[in-house]
Each structure stands twice: as C-alpha cells, then as structure tokens.
Copies of this chain bind each other. A is one copy, B any other.
C-alpha cells in the first residue's frame, strides 16, 4: 500500500495539516524544530504525495500538453526539446501529442488533455483557418499558446512565431537580385499561415526589384521530400522533352522547407543539372539534415529550439497569472549560405 500524508503525520505525532505545510514549503505555520523533524521523516520514507489528490485540491497538475503534427518530421524534435527543457526547468511535465495535421485528432487531444487537467497547452496547429480547437480551451479558461502557425480568428492569441515573410524576403531577395534570375517557388500547403506569409515576402521583393511576375513560377508542394522531387522533376521533364538548346525553365529554386529543397536537389541531380552553377537552391528551416546533404543546403535558418523554449516560458507566465507585455513574440530568421548557392558577395 502506498504511504500517505496521514501516515507521516502519525509517525511524527502531528496533524496532516502540519505535514502539508512543510511539504509545500510554506514559510509560516510550523516551528523550526518540528519542521526539521518532519522533513527528516519525509526524506527517510521517500514519501511521494499523490498528484491526483493534490490536483483535485489545488486544481493544478504541473503538466502541460504539446500538440504537434508529427514528431517524425525532422523539424519537430528540436522544437519539442526546447519546450521540454524549459518546462522541466520549471518543474512541469510534458504530454506529447501527434495530430498528423488532422483537425479532428487535434480536437480530441485537446479534450483529453483537459481531462487530464493540464495547466496549459502549446498548440502547433494543423490549419490556420479554424479555431474550434481553441474554443474548448477558451471555454474552460485553460491557458494556451500557439506555436509557429497563426490561427486566424476573432481574437489574436498568445503565441510565438517566426517572421516567415522576412524569411522569404531574405531568400528571394538574394536570388532575384541576381541578373537574369528565373525563380521556381516551391511553397508548402496553401492553407498554412506560413505559406501565405512567404508569398507575401516574395511579392515584396518582386515589387522592390521591379520585376515582372512572370519571372517566378509557382509550385504547390506538401512539405515532403517526395513532393519536392516530383514537382521539380516534372518541370525538368517537360523541359527536357522540348526543343533542344532551350534554357532551363528556372535557374533558382526557393522551397518552403528544407525537405522539399532536398527533394528538388535530388530531381536536379537526376537530370544532371549542376547545383549551384546552373540552378541555385535555398530551403527553409535549417534542419540538421541541411548540413548533411551534398552539397550542403543553403537555407533560411530559424531558431527552432528557442522557439520551443520561448513558447513554454510564455505559457508558464500565463499559467502564473502574469500578463506578458506582448501577446506574441516574433523570432527573426537568418539566411545561411552553404553549398547550393553561388555566394557571390562573400
């Protein structure tokens, strides 16, 4: 049988209340001697309070939920680690949920998490056009933070984001400012807020440079290696079948994530197109893999780990009733030039 607080109380010859007070480090209410004595017994017995009982009494669980699409996507491990580290530092535990970008699953997870009594949730939501998952949270007053993806709705939620527009700007500026650049823009799913922001960034640059919109060709991928390879492969294929001596359909690729960029790289290699001499490629995210492919992938780097830890810290603030000055924190991406770009100005 598990040892309870009354066992301790009996053993120390005091009441449960007194034990509870030293257990929770309440500064007042217990004499120094008694406190020390009880503490000793606590240590000896290795007493562990019941989270259930404590939760029932206090309404807090010291656990939070994190919902992401899929830990198997190489972007997420670092993010998750950032979250876990920050939480652990603060004495919180983490429920991990993989939603597969499925709104129904996402909602189910939210419901389950609330039943478990989580003190808050961090949501990297699948869609950006529905906030029904959030209604549940909102209804019960459970604090939450959105991560990386903006969920459109009436209210602006607390969240931490990457400045995707700026990221796209950095990459496309680099590419389009080069003489005679014909860009292939390989974007992610259209309903993701990130994708939308990236085309905005691209538009910025196109206008700045006074370019015709025909100078960029759009492709719609799904953030997977396969889609990148397929799309670029197809484009290359129709080109190859055309009359000889004709130019490549593009000489630069900007992909919405590194996975698609790597897919593009593969297609390029299959068609014996030289990178970066004939076609330059820039990805997005800067996952670990980007440094490991050959040639190493130039990419828009985001501080993934920090985004995770910042979101956890933001949530912790909300949980502790502090109103953070700003509802959202926006992190800045940087352009990392490696082997898939010509790196002229270095």
| Residues of A participating in the B interface, judged by any CB pair closer than 8 Å | 2, 48-53, 55-56, 61, 63, 70-72, 74, 76-78, 80-81, 84-85, 88, 93-98, 111-117, 140, 225, 262, 288-289, 292-294
Q: Complex Cα distance A228/B119, Å?
A: 43
CA distance A76 to B96 in the complex (A): 14
Which of B95, B115, B140 sits near A95, CB closer than 8 Å? B95
A–B complex contacts, Cβ < 8 Å, 22 sampled: A48-B115, A50-B115, A50-B117, A51-B115, A52-B56, A53-B56, A63-B95, A63-B116, A70-B81, A71-B81, A72-B81, A81-B98, A84-B96, A84-B97, A85-B98, A93-B116, A94-B95, A94-B97, A95-B95, A95-B96, A293-B294, A294-B294
Across the interface, which residues of B come within 8 angstroms of A116, CB to CB? 51, 61, 63, 93
Contacts of A225 in B (CB 8 A): 292
Q: Which of B61, B71, B97, B294 is close to A52, meaning CB atoms less than 8 Å apart?
A: B61
Instruction: Report how far A94 CA is from B78 CA in the complex, Å.
Output: 18
Chain B nearest CB, measured from A290 CB (Å)? 11
* CB atoms of A117 and B51 under 8 A apart: yes
A112 CA / B49 CA spacing, docked (Å):
10
- Residues of chain B within 8 A of A53, CB atoms compared: 52, 56
Residue among A51, A97, A225 with the highest chain B CB neighbour number at 10 A: A51
Q: How far is the CA of A113 from the CA of B50 in the complex (A)?
A: 11
Cβ-closest 5 pairs across A and B? A52-B55, A52-B56, A96-B96, A51-B116, A294-B294
Find chain B residues with CB under 8 A from A112 CB.
93
A68 CB to nearest chain B CB (Å)? 11
Q: How far is the CA of A111 from the CA of B49 in the complex (A)?
A: 11
Which residue from B50, B76, B97 sits with its C-beta under 8 Å from A77? Answer: B76
A95 to B64, CA, bound (A): 10
Question: What CA separation (Å) do A262 and B78 show in the bound complex?
Answer: 20
Chain B min CB distance to A61 (Å): 7
Q: Which residues of B contact A85 (CB under 8 A)?
A: 98
Hey, which chain B residues are within 8 Å of A80, CB to CB?
71, 96
Return the chain B residue nearest A293 by Cβ.
B292
Interchain CA distance A163-B15 in the complex, whole Å: 54
